[in-house]
Amino acid sequence: MADPISILGLVAGIITFVDFGYKVISGSKSARDSIQGRTPDVARLNKIVQEIRLMNAALVSQISGQRKPSPLEKHVIEMVQESEKLNLQLHKEIEKLTMRSETRFKHLESGRVALQSIRSHKSLQSLGKELLVLDHRVRSGIQMVLELNHHDSVMSRLKDLQDSQKALGIDHETKFNQIKDSIIHLTGQEHQKHVVQIAEQGAQLLSLKAKVDALLKEHSDSSKAIRVVRSLYFQEVRRRFDQIPYSDRRSNDWIYDPSLTTFSLWLESNATADGLFYIWGKPGSGKSTLMKYISEDERTRDKLKTWSRTEKLYIGSYFFWNQGSEMQKSRTGLMQSLLYQILRASPELIPPEVGGRLDHEVWDMNEMIATFEYIANQTRYSSKFCFFIDGLDEYNGDENDIAPMLKVLISSPHIKLCASSRPGRLYEQSLRREDRAFDIARFTKEDMRHYVQNRLTVNTKFQRLSLQGTGCQNIISNISGHARGVWLWVFLVTRDILYEVDRDEGILTLQKIVNEFLSDLERYFERIIDRIKDRHKEEMAQTFLVTVHELQPLPLFAFALLERERTRPDYALETPIEPVSLDEIEPKHPVWQARVRNRCGDLLVIDPGPHPVYLSHSVDFMHRTVRDFLRDCYHDNLRNYLTHEFSPLVSLCKIHLCLLKALPVDNFRDRRSVNRIIGLTDELLYYAHEAEKNCTHQEQRTLDGLLNELDKVNSHHARSIRNHWTHARDSPAKLGFDHYREGGQCNFLALAVQARLAKYVSTRLQADKQIMQKGGRPLLDYALRPRRVTPISMDYHTTRDDPSVDIKMVELLLAHGANPNQSVHLYDGESVWALFLLSIHEANRQEGSGTSPPESLKTAWYASCEAMIRVGAQSDHITVVVKGRPGLNTTTILSGVFGPERAKILEDQIEAIAARKEMEGEKSDSENFCLMM
């Protein structure tokens, strides 16, 4: 059957037509109200009928493949046909009652119209009766639509919407049933028999139309909210929150005491420029536990109600987690999570321009910022939001982004924000206000004593020890005194004491643990490693090295693959492309978990929930400080445990290749499948780039084989589409004059150039020089403009000063004959050199709103300019000129990016190379002339 909502919309259009007919007949519109000889009635009538025709055409196209329309569809089509017939009659009557614009004698024309109105009385009565018949059919049609009882009926569709809203937690009270009952009541009212009562009939019809429109609007609003909220949801939206342990209720009560902190006063404050509260503390000091506690405690909500007053109040949170997936540590994850919480709570705040997006469409940062600004400027809706953002120091981008990012949020008087971080960060100065901030360590010593006491005194054996004297009480006090505000230390030492108590150790042993258990966590981590059996030490080192270098936690299955590598180094190439399901490997999880524990102690933990990309059981560090310790303090020690050649980065490439081979891909056009494939691919390319920096010749050969196999695997997954699989990636957003077109001619070598795999590309070019000749964008363009959309963030884009343009790749391609003056037909014949200049101009201009591009990137741009000039870039003296921007050319671009002095050096080099080429050309001509003589 055709879409019942579309049918309802079509019927609503017919109601408008009937109502209009009633108004014409009842004389509610002046027949003398002419505009240029054509009444507004005719113009309005034409518009109504045209809308009906369009909706009817859509309905007919939906049922054109069916052998026979349903009774309802037949009923509606007949109503449309009746409307068309009545439309012609209405036109005739309106024309009779319209004053002709070309007449010279207005009074005579007025008399003619008056006479026609008398003569038309009977025909208008007849037309009125026909409109009443159509009115009756409309009402019965609406009843048929609303009272259908099957899976695709209107009410079934509306119930599905309600269920979807409930499942997504969307706070929108739908009124489908109330509106439906009102419509059924109106359609059941008795029809008036006489034309004199048409005005009253029209009023009923208008009321019916208003209710149908309300139902359609309710459907549209609900559908929009579901699509937008679904598009904002991501699997890890609460993962970090759920991983944080709950604190004892008494542990953090101090934060609400106004004699200790101003937190309660801040929650209640309505003062302007008072939107931010800042909490800082050392690693492991309990910031995340505190943030989780206050974000859920009823006292927080109660005090915020003083601020929100009569307005709706919503509380949300985001917990950065540097060890987690991309969405747990990025600005995108933060903004998307907060928007998800805001729009789920207040769907009426959804901006009109995003309402039409599909639920699988990815949000870009500009869209999210624009949506926040729209929300911040709303005055129609009465809602207030308080957000708790934990772990700003675990954000994986530039620290300079933090303050502007938070200021976007608190620019609205409707938003409060409480944030936590480690101390000593660049953003601290602009965020921290002395009366709206504190160091958590000032208040936790007594909480720690309570925690230790509660944990130890419930143990029966510890209770017996306590009867022997004051030693046990001293141990409790000593732990909180030695902790120096670090909860993680308290947790670990308490756990060790309980371990020994359960094995019947005495007071002296317990006191020795406390005394030797230095507050230096690194020493404790070393002790855990020392306890691991020597026979497992090499595998421990391999496991830790892999987890230290990974971009995001791996599923437990990955560590089974690492184990496979120890006996079959080429396993990743030998493994067939074959989907692996969670059901297949679930029985093996207990064994794999035990092996990870045996080799890594408690330093790695396993989350049994679904992995954000594939399979389940994410393997992660017990605490961020563990990763910091292994990476910064113990990396060389791990290397010393290795007795065989081992590259964690090459191993990660093998693991990700196998994950791609095992990935179930039913439909390559499915957005979720594509995102998983592109995400795993980009991780592999990142590890390959990192490995290329210091790899041996043998490791490079292995990498080359893995990369070639990667192309084959993804080509297999994409075998149902015509273009190369690299086209599945979305194109980067346009930045002014810098935009990206592929023309269907992207390939894996181009992606390798973008990924800066210089050694791999060199090997490919040496093996086959012809592959330099590529259609669409030249390879040099990919090296100079390597932007690509990726579902993940790589460290070299964020935490390290590593430029995206690789001068080695540029020089490699130039050495193999790449021509910077080559015209690119996809870009209206612009040269590669010109496209590069426009790109760096836009990148430099885009950064103008915040910080300038990193110096390392500018250095790479400048070196690339020099390299291209050496081989003749712009040696034809044809300067780059931008259409529509006469002031934008080679000189202004170079000056704007590098400054006038450095720009002049480059332009002098261009002139020198051009002059030399001219001289060489003249010399060549002279030699040819002599030869001819």
Instruction: Compute the radius of gyration of the chain from its Cα atoms.
Output: 36
Lowest mean pLDDT among 395-404, 544-553, 565-574: 395-404
Per-residue pLDDT, 798:
42
- Is residue 309 in a domain? yes
C-alpha 173: how far from its chain's center?
Answer: 27
Do 712 and 848 sit in the same domain of this protein?
A: no
Do 436 and 547 sit in the same domain of this protein?
A: no
Do 702 and 587 sit in the same domain of this protein?
A: yes
- Is residue 227 in a domain? no
In our burial notation (b when 16+ CB lie closer than 10 A, e otherwise), range 392-417 reads bbbbbbbeeebbebbebbbebebbbb
**3-class secondary-structure state, position 885:** strand
Q: Is the pLDDT of residue 478 over 50?
A: yes
Query: Which of 395, 392, 401 lies closest to 420 in space, CA to CA?
Result: 392
Given 517, 538, 555, which residue is the final one in a domain?
A: 517
| CA pair distance 275, 263, nearest whole angstrom | 12
Do 888 and 741 sit in the same domain of this protein?
A: yes
Predicted confidence (pLDDT) per residue in 318-377, tens digit: 888 766 666 777 788 888 888 888 888 888 888 887 766 666 677 878 888 888 888 877
Do 493 and 584 sit in the same domain of this protein?
A: no
Do 584 and 719 sit in the same domain of this protein?
A: yes
- Is residue 749 in a domain? yes
Given 192, 221, 250, which residue is the final one in a domain?
A: 221
Predicted confidence (pLDDT) per residue in 865-878, tens digit: 999 999 999 876 66
- Is residue 778 in a domain? yes
Q: Highest-confidence range of 138-147, 195-204, 269-278, 791-800, by mean pLDDT?
A: 269-278
Q: Is the pLDDT of residue 643 over 90?
A: yes
Per-residue pLDDT, 514:
83
Given 154, 188, 221, which residue is the final one in a domain?
A: 221
Judge contact between 805 and 858, C-beta under 8 A.
Answer: no
Q: Is the pLDDT of residue 817 over 90?
A: yes
Per-residue pLDDT, 215:
78
**3-class secondary-structure state, position 863:** helix
- Is residue 804 in a domain? yes
- Is residue 785 in a domain? yes
Average pLDDT over residues 592-607: 90
Average pLDDT over residues 375-397: 81
Per-residue pLDDT, 325:
66
- At 395, list the tokens: 């954000």
Is pLDDT larger for residue 380 or for residue 393?
A: 393
Indicate the number of domains in the chain.
Answer: 5
Q: Highest-confidence range of 181-185, 457-461, 571-575, 926-930, by mean pLDDT?
A: 571-575
Is pLDDT larger for residue 416 or for residue 330?
A: 416
- Is residue 74 in a domain? yes
Q: Is the pLDDT of residue 534 over 60?
A: yes
Q: Highest-confidence range of 214-223, 485-494, 635-644, by mean pLDDT?
A: 635-644
Do 152 and 93 sit in the same domain of this protein?
A: yes
- Is residue 228 in a domain? no
CATH number where 331 lies: 3.40.50.300
Per-residue pLDDT, 930:
39
Do 532 and 673 sit in the same domain of this protein?
A: yes
Do 567 and 469 sit in the same domain of this protein?
A: no
Per-residue pLDDT, 602:
82
Do 407 and 466 sit in the same domain of this protein?
A: no
Range of the domain at 701: 520-724
Host H or E run for residue 293: helix 287-296
Per-residue pLDDT, 916:
84
Q: Which residues pair with 765 in a beta bridge?
A: none
Do 322 and 348 sit in the same domain of this protein?
A: yes
- At 539, list the tokens: 């595998």
Q: Which residues pair with 278 in a beta bridge?
A: 419, 437
Do 667 and 749 sit in the same domain of this protein?
A: no
Q: Is the pLDDT of residue 530 over 50?
A: yes
Residues 6+ away with beta carbon under 8 Å from 63: 1, 2, 69, 70, 73
Predicted confidence (pLDDT) per residue in 612-636, tens digit: 788 889 898 888 888 888 998 999 9
Task: Assign 30 a pLDDT band (cuts: 50, 70, 90).
Answer: very low
Judge contact between 135 and 201, C-beta under 8 A.
Answer: yes
